[in-house]
Chains A and B, each alone.
Chain A
Amino acid sequence: MPDNKLKIGIYELTGCAGDALLIIDCEEELVNIFKAANIEAFLMAKSDNNDEVELDVALVEGSVSTEKELKELLEIRKRSKALIAIGICAGLGGMQSYFLDDKDWAKNYKAVYGGVEMTHTKPLPSKPIGDFVKVDYYLPGCPIGKEQFLSTFARLLAGNPPELFRFPVCVECKWRENDCLLNKNILCLGPLTAGGCGAVCVNHNLPCVGCWGPSEEANRTAEYKLLLEKGYDPALIKNKMANFSGTSIIEFFARFKGDKE
């Protein structure tokens, strides 16, 4: 039945499937999501998936970790007008892109799988999808936030690009009137981390762990210096940021080279 609805595909590469699950977790809106657009592929939700149709939008979760996934990603890109990376693994590589040096990765791979040659596909060091294909938009998060996903989805339906949060966690934290944990000498990554989660950890008296990755537009230099002034060890900050930020940590810290005291 031909109609004018957008054709959307939702795909999962290596990751926790949390971004796809978050979409399913939009319980009340889920039926409307399926009505408002043609969800052509969404493995977690349906078995009648169409893997050949030309798509208006592909939403891709997870990082590229095998040759098979790379092939799949290239093929998805080819038949999609727009491609959106959803979640930190697709966008930045996530926690599994921790071993930035390929040799280091290979050593650690061997420690887990020994010398067993995999017959089903060749493993690759985990990388964000933007390393292989053009990514039009990136929704950050671990997992993505429901509000940002729904607003993006609604904007896409109207033919508009996503409008992303550009502020760090601190902004949302102030909206919540939380006491600043840095004032209590607790290392909180809020100033450096992309907002959108609603400052959830600080709302629970816990420091931000940086799971949404580096904030795009915060004055990161000033924020980073602030943390140094507070007496935190640059190595400690880097270690904590590196837990989730994947390959973006390289660029992130290149910027602060020479700022070390």
Chain B
Amino acid sequence: MKKITIEHLARLEGNGGVTATIDGNVVTDVKFLVNEGPRLVERLTLGKTPEEDVNLVPRICAICTLSHKYAAIRAMEKALKVNVGPKVKLIRELMHLGEMVESHALHVFYLALPDYVGFPNAIAMASKFPFEVKIALEMKQYGNHIMKTVSGRYIHGENPVIGGFGKFPSRDELVWIKNRAIQFMPFVLKTVKLFAELPYPDVPESETLYACCHPPDKKYGIVGDEIILSNGDIIDVQDYKNLTNEFIVPHSFCKRSQYKGKPYSVGALARVNCLGERFEGEARKMYKKYFNARWTKNPLFNNAAQALELVYAFERIPGVVDEAVKLPDEPLVLYSQKDGKGAGAVEAPRGTLFHAYEVTKGLVSHTDIITPTAQNAEDIERYCYITAQKLLESGQEEKIKDRMDLVIRSFDPCISCSVHTVQVKRAPEEDWKTKIAALKTDVSPVIIGIGSPGHSDDAVGLELARRLRGQGVKEVWIEDEALEKSGAREADERRPLLFLDAVDFGERPGKITIMPLQHAAWNAVLSHRLLPLVTSQISFDQLKNSYILGIQPASLEDGEQISEPVRLAMEQILEQLKN
């Protein structure tokens, strides 16, 4: 086996990596690692005042600082029944748009574009694309300027507070921001053309579910009190846990999310997929011109979606300023509420961000924060797996590392909120033994033998199950029974499953490999027999903890005989699975 490791994913904000493990011609495992250490933010905010919490939580991530601030303020204002006036809302929208401009410009030009034009970084790229690099810098600077004007600093400005602002930006400052936005428009439109027309490879194509905030009034937008999914489901932000369903994986300090047992994606591409029809003006024209079916299933189009959102932001900013300058500055809304509970969601540049708090006697008694990268982590792993598997099948193993890097970067993960590295490696010999031993120490797995008799080695799973039964091992099912006895299995939903099957992974006959069931489910070759057993009855916990133990067959032709190498493998497995 072999591993491809990207030890340090460069040009991302934060610290993480990806490891893909290859056995023969099958990718047996992909892990998206977050090397960032645990900071326990949800714990250290307990016992603080709501104001202190709002000071602290933006420090989760420098690039999404204002999204964190805004989400925390929205949650606290919900909990403490604080209602702010229209000018506060407009100036908050302005700072949020400023952050989006800054973050998207940084990502598309500085972090993503060098990959497509063959440079290691944006500074080196300047030799060939001086104009792009210069304007990109100005665009980013402009976003930063808005953030600084409204929040007080480039990073971690404290001016936005519960109840409003310490100080409003002046009319002159706002008008300057408006005029500069208008000047940028011609270049912003070119940016969409550039990023919509980049030669994105089809490799990672796969359908997913998209989620984002559902803005009111049928408008495009980046906040909302509801969440909308690309399947049409609507979820109240107060019920955010129905979307996020957080869980922990042992290879990352960043928690994970799945909706109804499946990964979902958040971010610019999710927003464009869910809300694109709501664009107005130039953004609508660009959307109509460039949006197509590829945008619905290829994460690399997130770069194009971000460029499209730049148009949205640059068109929206003058409107926000026009409305804001008409209104008087509003005094800070003071509150006397000491107890309450509330959740707030905003669209950070890289996706939906949730903050939820409970305040008891004026102090924070519960904190829950769910970042976009945490929600994307499962889909990042899934898309990396698909990419690696497709490249491996088409004999382009040498491309795996770079392509996975491209896929991860397209998600614009901000790893401090939850990456540095891609690693591709061959699985160590006897990897399966280690994994089975680990599996058994927890709860004994339910073993399911699958295969078809009369096709030589394809019967190995069935034969193994029969032999295990003969040895008195309990909880062994054979394919058909497993379907029938689904009711009986529901009783112990938490127990992992271990499928035994012949798996052609292009290795020497009799070689044994182990792969997580979840990954096998993404692999079309492996999933045709497994899926009927998996999708209808398996709980999500089981899916995460279950494995398929595959034996490389020598032959799948018609025949009753199991080949010699596969027989030897069977003996090894029997030895290992004995109680």
Contacts and interface: CB of A to CB of B under 8 A. Distances in A.
A94 B252 CA distance: 22
Nearest to B55: A209
Nearest to A145: B153
A205 B14 contact: no
Interface in B256-307: none
Q: Top 6 nearest A-B pairs by Cβ distance?
A: A65-B37, A18-B62, A46-B121, A47-B10, A204-B166, A14-B37
Interface of B: 8-15, 31, 33, 35-44, 48, 52, 55-56, 58-63, 65, 106, 110, 114, 120-124, 126, 137, 140-141, 144, 152-159, 161, 165-167, 248-253, 414-416, 420
A43 B11 contact: yes
Contacts of B63: 17, 21
Given A45-B11, A117-B250, A206-B167, 5 more contacts: A19-B62, A47-B121, A96-B37, A114-B248, A211-B55
A27 B106 CA distance: 11
A138 interface: no
Interface string A206-236: 1001010000000000000000000000000
A94 B41 CA distance: 12
Given A46-B121, A48-B120, A206-B159, A201 B152 contact: yes
A135 B370 CA distance: 34
Interface of A, helix, strand, loop or mixed by DSSP: mixed
Interface residues of A, number: 69
A44 B156 contact: no
Nearest to B52: A243
B35 A68 contact: yes
B167 A204 contact: yes
Contacts of A13: 15, 37
B250 A206 contact: no
Contacts of B35: 66, 68-69, 120-121
A31 interface: yes
B158 A18 contact: no
B38 to A, nearest CB: 5
A232 to B, nearest CB: 14
Contacts of B12: 43-44
B453 to A, nearest CB: 38
A108 B41 CA distance: 10
A205 B40 contact: no
Interface in A172-208: 197, 200-201, 203-206
Nearest to A25: B154
Contacts of A17: 13-15, 61-63, 414-416
A143 interface: yes
Contacts, number: 205
A240 B248 CA distance: 32
Given A31-B126, A120-B35, A16 B59 contact: yes
A69 B41 CA distance: 19
A16 B250 contact: no
Interface in A15-53: 15-22, 24-25, 27-28, 30-31, 34, 43-49, 51
Contact of A126 (B39, B120, B124): B39
Contacts of A121: 35
30 contacts: A12-B15, A14-B15, A14-B38, A16-B59, A16-B60, A17-B414, A18-B59, A19-B62, A22-B62, A27-B140, A28-B137, A43-B12, A44-B13, A45-B122, A66-B37, A66-B38, A96-B41, A96-B44, A109-B40, A112-B38, A116-B248, A120-B250, A123-B37, A197-B153, A200-B152, A200-B157, A200-B158, A201-B166, A243-B48, A244-B56
Interface of A: 12-22, 24-25, 27-28, 30-31, 34, 43-49, 51, 63-66, 68-69, 94-96, 98-99, 105, 108-109, 111-114, 116-121, 123-124, 126, 142-143, 146, 197, 200-201, 203-206, 209, 211, 239-240, 243-244
A201 B158 contact: yes
B40 A96 contact: yes
B123 A30 contact: yes
B122 to A, nearest CB: 8
A98 B44 contact: yes
B40 A112 contact: yes
Contact of A113 (B14, B123, B253): B253
Contact of A108 (B9, B37, B40, B159): B40
A63 to B, nearest CB: 8
Most buried by A among B14, B37, B44: B37
Contact of A69 (B37, B124, B414): B37
Contact of B55 (A16, A46, A48, A243): A243
Most buried by B among A18, A45, A49, A94: A18
Given A206-B166, A243-B55, A118 B253 contact: yes
Contacts of A44: 10-13
A58 B39 CA distance: 24
Contacts of A206: 158-159, 161, 166-167
Contacts of B250: 116-120
B159 A113 contact: no
A211 B156 contact: yes
A99 B10 contact: no
Contact of A27 (B59, B137, B420): B137
Contact of B61 (A16, A19, A30, A31): A16
A87 to B, nearest CB: 10
A196 to B, nearest CB: 12
Contacts of A12: 14-15, 416
Contact of B253 (A43, A51, A123): A123
B247 to A, nearest CB: 9
Contact of A123 (B38, B144, B249): B38
A120 B421 CA distance: 13
A21 B252 contact: no
Given A14-B37, A142-B156, A206-B158, A48 B43 contact: no
Most buried by A among B39, B65, B122: B39
A112 B42 contact: yes
